[in-house]
Amino acid sequence: MMAAQIVPVLMYHHVRPGGGMIATTPEHFEDQLRWLARRGYAALTTAEFAQHLEHGGAPRRSVLITFDDGYLDNWVYAAPLLQRYGLRATVFVVTGWLGQGAVRPQLGEGKALPETPEHHDCERRVAQGQADEVALRWSEVQALRAQGVMEFHSHTHTHTRWDLQDGDKNGHMREELQQSRLCLAKELGETSAHFCWPQGYFDEDYVRIAQEEGYRYLYTTRAFGRNLPGADPLSIFRFAVRDTTGASLGRRIRVAANPVLAPVFNGWKRWKRANHYRG
């Protein structure tokens, strides 16, 4: 089997009716998964992706599907659709948002489904101490792990941009990483070396602290780069998936994975962004 030179990493947040900010409708998400499945794409685990970065060898048609934050709609809508198409995803959870309680209904069970609010409403409810209304529960995380549909890694404990707050941002970030690791160890019995930056922010101090706390694979929100064998695992590129069709996502994946087109496209997008902000 031919090795993939580039593995695109897809970034999602929500799968919910009506779409919305950083959200994909269940209909579009299913169309995207259908496009991947019909063309024989492998949805890698983080272990397989790490192997690709270190040594290569991933299937020629490979992606890594990721979700940020750990919202309830990942359980209600995304997981059943992933299972339907035999694909897997990685979720970076904000551990301080996850609570206890019974699993809730999912798509396809024939039961009334829980409300899955749009992104700003989720943020508001979390700020008001109502995270259980919009975030996963540990029981749901454990069920998804047992099914092999999703795996779970750290996205800090509170999702706070400490660089925008008063005080010792580096000390707060270290505490976030430690608390998140303790929660994952307690609830899941293990932790990992994979971590995703909250709101995409990081600097040299944060990277150093993450390494000191045992993280080897750091996921960014930077879209215009290539995840090649031998690429820096401390700067993993991901692009946001829009509320669009499978064919549209497919075109973006093909460009991202093309060894000739990808560097040209990424360079043009970086130039365009830099000149836009300069203007």
Could you list the residue range(s) of the whole structural domain that residue 158 is in? 9-278
Q: Give 236's strand partners.
A: 219
Q: For residue 42, give the 3-state DSSP assignment.
A: strand
* DSSP letter assigned to residue 254: H
- Please indicate, yes or no, if residue 74 is contained in any of the structural domains: yes
Show pLDDT as tens, one digit a residue, over the chain (279 residues). Answer: 455 689 999 999 999 999 988 999 999 999 999 999 999 999 999 999 999 999 999 999 999 999 999 999 999 999 999 999 999 999 999 999 999 999 999 999 999 999 999 999 999 999 999 999 999 999 999 999 999 999 999 999 999 999 999 999 999 999 999 999 999 999 999 999 999 999 999 999 999 999 999 999 999 999 999 999 999 999 999 999 999 999 999 999 999 999 999 999 999 888 888 886 554
- Please indicate, yes or no, if residue 59 is contained in any of the structural domains: yes
CATH number at residue 76: 3.20.20.370
**Domain count for the chain:** 1
- Please indicate, yes or no, if residue 1 is contained in any of the structural domains: no
- Please indicate, yes or no, if residue 247 is contained in any of the structural domains: yes
- Please indicate, yes or no, if residue 3 is contained in any of the structural domains: no
H or E segment and range at residue 26: helix 26-38
- Please indicate, yes or no, if residue 191 is contained in any of the structural domains: yes
- Please indicate, yes or no, if residue 2 is contained in any of the structural domains: no
| pTM of the full structure | 0.96
Q: Which long-range contacts (CB under 8 A, 24 or more apart) does 219-224 make?
A: 219/9, 219/66, 219/92, 219/194, 219/195, 221/11, 221/197, 223/269, 224/265, 224/266, 224/267, 224/269, 224/270, 224/273
In 117-235, which ranges are continuous DSSP H helix?
119-127, 138-147, 169-188, 204-212
Structure token digits, residue 1: 């089997």
The radius of gyration computed from the CA coordinates of the chain, to the nearest angstrom, equals 18
Residue 105 CB neighbour total at 10 angstroms: 13
- Please indicate, yes or no, if residue 134 is contained in any of the structural domains: yes
